[in-house]
């Protein structure tokens, strides 16, 4: 009977945490790009969606605020260069989390393959031992 192979908890937890951080970064990139688009086209900040995007993107934009001044577009819109820069940096961070997810998956796959190989060797050794004990060995005459 095959037992289920249990992957070490640190590998599973690491992969889950990496996925959560990756999703958080992707969400941040989307919100920052939406902010840039809405500011460029002078979206009404009194609407629920625009207000949500502005408030949410503020958290992601905070470390990058003041690096680049906004550039005017048209009469009322402006390009938030800091938000674009933040989206690029978060993209690089997301790329790192993606690599981390692939690393954890490779370690999980390696562990699973090794565990299956060890289990197969054990089964072969048990089968060989059972075959040796099940059939008595015939005495082979010695030649002198």
> Can you say whether residue 141 is alpha, beta or left, with left for phi > 0 and alpha for psi between -120 and 50 degrees?
beta
DSSP string, 1-65: -PPPPPPPHHHHHHHHHHHHHHHHHHHHHHHHHHHHHHHHTT--TTSHHHHHHHHHHHHHHGGGT
pLDDT at position 2 is 53
The pTM score is: 0.77
For residue 33, tell me if it sits in a domain: yes
pLDDT at position 144 is 62
What's the total number of domains in the chain?
1
For residue 88, tell me if it sits in a domain: yes
Residue 74: partners with Cβ closer than 8 Å, 6 or more residues away: 42
From first to last of the 144 residues of the chain, give the pLDDT tens digit: 457 888 899 999 999 999 999 999 999 999 999 999 999 998 899 999 999 999 999 999 999 988 988 888 877 888 999 999 999 999 999 999 999 999 999 999 999 999 999 988 998 988 888 887 766 556 566 776
pLDDT at position 129 is 84
For residue 44, tell me if it sits in a domain: yes
pLDDT at position 135 is 61
In angstroms, the CA 37 to CA 69 distance is 16
For residue 128, tell me if it sits in a domain: no
For residue 4, tell me if it sits in a domain: no
In angstroms, the CA 83 to CA 70 distance is 9
Query: How, if at all, do strands 71-73 and 77-79 pair?
Result: antiparallel
In angstroms, the CA 87 to CA 80 distance is 11
79's tokens: 């390009």
pLDDT at position 39 is 92
Containing structural domain, residue 52: 9-105
């Amino acid at each position: 009977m095959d037992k289920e192979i249990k992957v070490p908890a640190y590998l599973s937890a690491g992969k889950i945490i990496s996925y959560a951080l990756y999703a958080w970064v992707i969400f941040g990139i989307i919100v920052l790009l939406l902010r840039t688009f809405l500011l460029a086209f002078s979206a009404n900040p009194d609407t629920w969606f625009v207000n949500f995007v502005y408030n949410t993107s503020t958290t992601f934009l905070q470390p990058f605020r003041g690096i680049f001044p906004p550039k005017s577009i048209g009469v009322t819109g402006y390009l938030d260069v800091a938000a674009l820069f933040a989206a690029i940096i978060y993209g690089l961070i997301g790329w790192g989390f993606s690599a981390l997810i692939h690393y954890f998956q490779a370690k999980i796959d390696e562990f699973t393959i090794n565990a299956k190989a060890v289990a197969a060797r054990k089964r072969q050794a048990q089968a060989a031992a059972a075959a040796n004990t099940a059939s008595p060995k015939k005495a082979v005459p010695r030649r002198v």
